[in-house]
């Protein structure tokens, strides 16, 4: 994975203060409508090319998200 540039990190830091991350209503609504999770899901085409790979999003479950991600 490529590291975030200073420009990206600075833009994300500004965005964190511009958006109302303290308003959790959208997050609460999403959790209320949540049905289930898929633990492992890697789907590939017959030629072996990936269609979907959940392991690529594992960083969302950790507190060590890359600098390209805005963390509220």
Q: Is the pLDDT at 1 greater than 70, yes or no?
A: no
Q: Is the pLDDT at 25 greater than 80, yes or no?
A: yes
- Give pLDDT, residue 47: 94
- Give pLDDT, residue 31: 83
Assigned token pair, 4: 């975030």
- Give pLDDT, residue 15: 87
pTM of the complete model: 0.43
Instruction: Please tell me the total number of residues recorded for the chain in this structure.
Output: 72
Which tens digit of pLDDT belongs to each residue from 30-64?
888 878 777 777 788 999 888 888 877 777 776 67
The DSSP line for 10-60 is HHHHHHHHHS-TT--HHHHHHHHT-----S--EEE-TTS-EEEEGGGGGGG
């Amino acid at each position: 994975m490529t590291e975030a540039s200073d420009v990206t990190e600075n833009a994300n830091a500004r965005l964190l203060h511009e958006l109302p991350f303290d308003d959790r209503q959208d997050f609460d609504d999403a959790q209320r409508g949540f049905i289930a999770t898929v633990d492992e899901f890697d789907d590939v085409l017959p030629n072996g090319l990936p269609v979907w790979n959940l392991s690529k999003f594992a960083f969302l479950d950790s507190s060590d998200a890359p600098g390209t991600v805005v963390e509220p």
